[in-house]
């Protein structure tokens, strides 16, 4: 198992994950990043669309990034 860090980056700045989360595999970390991005996508005004969840290794190397997609819930 490895510790991964899930930073949230938006046009307003970055929320760094200083504690990280332990995941059994890199695939599990990817799925968790997708879930975090989906949670931000559920904002009714799509305020976080285009933001990213960046996943880092304990050494600080970025492993991958998931973009927050529009939810389709925004009021027209």
Residue bearing the bigger pLDDT, 8 or 75? 8
pLDDT at 47: 84
Distance from C-alpha of 59 to C-alpha of 17, rounded to nearest angstrom: 13
Distance from C-alpha of 67 to C-alpha of 63, rounded to nearest angstrom: 14
Q: What is the pLDDT of residues 7-61, one digit of tens each?
A: 999 999 999 999 999 999 999 999 999 999 999 998 767 789 999 999 999 999 9
Consecutive H or E run containing 60: none
pLDDT at 75: 54
- Please give the model's pTM, rounded to 2 decimal places: 0.87
pLDDT at 71: 77
76 pLDDT exceeds 70? Answer: no
């Amino acid at each position: 198992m490895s510790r991964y860090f899930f930073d949230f980056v938006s046009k307003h700045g970055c929320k760094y994950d200083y504690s990280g989360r332990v995941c059994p595999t890199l695939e599990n970390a990817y799925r968790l990043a997708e879930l975090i991005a989906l949670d931000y996508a559920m904002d009714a005004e799509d305020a976080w669309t285009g933001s990213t969840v960046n996943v880092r290794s304990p050494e600080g190397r970025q492993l991958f990034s998931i973009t927050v997609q529009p939810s389709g819930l925004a009021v027209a």
